[in-house]
Amino acid sequence: MGVISKILGRVDFKHERHEKGSKFFNIELNQGRGGLPIHIQNDAFRIEMTKAEFTQFATSIINAANNMIDYKDLSQIKNELNDA
């Protein structure tokens, strides 16, 4: 196992449907004995990836969110996010 260098982010699930499952996941930057330095994990799952894979993954999520905002005409929310 490596050592966590930095927790890059944490997502907390606050919706009632998450009461029976995990309520969070962390995005961690790790260092150690080789391996894959980015871990997305909680008490139920773990995904490991390289920095390049994480960049592709994150870009895909952002693009999908933007597409959903456009598709569902949530432009007001998009403007609020851009202003934050």
Give residue-wise pLDDT tens across range 19-31: 666 678 888 888 8
**pLDDT tens digits, 21-76:** 667 888 888 886 666 789 888 877 889 999 899 999 999 999 998 888 888 877 77
Half-sphere exposure of 32 (CA within 13 A, CB side): 14
> What pLDDT is attached to residue 81?
73
Contacts of 24 (CB under 8 A, 6+ apart): 10, 11, 12, 13, 42
Q: CA nearest 12: which of 24, 22, 4, 1? A: 24
Predicted TM-score (pTM) above 0.75 = no
- Residue spans per domain, the chain: 1-49, 51-84
- For residue 1, name the pLDDT band (cuts at 50, 70, 90): low
